[in-house]
Structure 1
Amino acid sequence: MRLFMGSRDEKDKTKVRKEKLAGYFYNLSQLIFTGTGVGGVLPFLHGTASSGDISVLVFGAVATAGSAYFANRILKY
């Protein structure tokens, strides 16, 4: 009986660990989206946009999607 309870505890630990790690990557994607969104859009509103600002927006979109995808993969498997 004790062996069974130990494996259940280990499964619970693994589940919690996966949820926390996925939550970290979801939060990271939110931070990237917010930071690059504000940093990349403000120059467009002021009319002083450059190619660097466009690259910030593209990097932000790719990094946000990548972090969210990675978090989803962690939760799936």
Structure 2
Amino acid sequence: VTATCVRVPVPIAHGESVYFTIEDESATAQDIMRVVADFPGNVLEDDIAHQIYPQPINAVGKRETFVGRIRPDYENKG
């Protein structure tokens, strides 16, 4: 796992870009989304077609972890 903290000038949240490798090469982004959505404490916001993705404004007053923009890394195969 490679994690990068992304600081933005807002007083209520921060973001992280997380890259990870999974053993099952047949797993899809949709499979990962299902796992993330089912994990307690996570909120999946991942619908790029409708511009739904984690934003600091949605985290105000909440303790959940907002996750989105899940996609394969086509440049790094392993």
Q: TM-score range by the shorter chain?
A: under 0.3
More relative contact order, 1 or 2 (CA 8 Å, 6+ apart):
1
TM-score normalized with structure 2 length: 0.26
Taking structure 1 as the reference length, the TM-score comes to: 0.27
Larger radius of gyration between Structure 1 and Structure 2:
1
Q: Which has the higher strand share?
A: 2
More helix as a share of residues: 1
